[in-house]
Structure 1
């Protein structure tokens, strides 16, 4: 009997849509996912953490994230704050999304950003539309 393969998604897929989000540090990931009507927990998602980092911190943060499979890209919700606070980035990776891991990663991103003089604004998750 063969194992069923999960569909592979790419962070660069133009059809991806935001299915869950939380930009309130007091909101539990479980609450954000509970209100996410379009999120399909059985499928992988692109989890994105929106960060504001000093431009000089990018070189130090990138390899730390890459060691755990995260990619750091310019842009995201933080891009609007770049003039005052630094540069806007998203740390993203494809993974199965659940409240525990989402919460752990949000905490990790907040700590990483803070250690480098930045801020974690929140997270969102993208999946392909249901067909």
Structure 2
């Protein structure tokens, strides 16, 4: 997503409460680690996911340690935060829908492959209710 798209999202979110990727109240509300399951099906089977609220979309990837800074360079302009480890997490706050989950899953798979890594799947977190 480019600068204009991010600006549109931010302007549209003025009335919504903020959410942080490191909010201690977050719990996993949906998981997608089966590459053959459609993101729409993943979201539909989750009774905890609240479609009308912001969530943290978190991708789980393996990226070689020597490529972590390159990955950050590519992800940061679009608001992604990469936390490196044996399994790295790439996260950002957004509203979830099947189309955007599928687009971002594809983007992360492409990024991981280009950097010699592997995309494992994604999950989404929202504050516990």
Give TM-score, length-normalised by structure 2.
0.87
Secondary structure in 2 matching 1:33:
helix
Q: 1:46 aligns with which of 46, 50, 56?
A: 56
1:13 aligns with 2:6: no
Distance (whole Å) between structure 1 residues aligned to residue 63 and residue 33 of structure 2: 17
Deviation for aligned residue 1:4: 7.5
Give the aligned length: 117
What is the distance in 2 between the residues matched to 1:62 and 1:4?
27
Is the CA contact (8 Å cut-off) linking 1:45 and 1:125 kept in structure 2? yes
Contact 1:7 1:43 in 2 (8 A): no
Is the partner of 2:78 in helix, strand or coil? coil
CA RMSD between the two structures: 1.3
1:91 is matched with which residue?
A: 90
Any stretches of 5+ residues in structure 2 without a counterpart? 1-12
| Mapping 1:65-104, distance limit 5 Å | 65-75=75-85, 87-104=86-103
**Which residue of the partner structure matches residue 6 of structure 2?**
none
Counterpart in the other structure of 1:78: none
- Whether 2:45 is the aligned partner of 1:35: answer yes
Using the TM superposition, give the Cα deviation of residue 74 of structure 1 relative to its aligned residue in structure 2, in angstroms.
2.4
Task: Give the TM-score of the pair, scaled to structure 1.
Answer: 0.85
Query: Mind listing any 5+ residue stretches in structure 1 that lack a counterpart?
Result: 76-86
Shift of 1:6: 1.2
Q: How far off its partner does 1:67 sit?
A: 1.3
Q: Which runs of 4+ in 1 moved over 2 A?
A: none
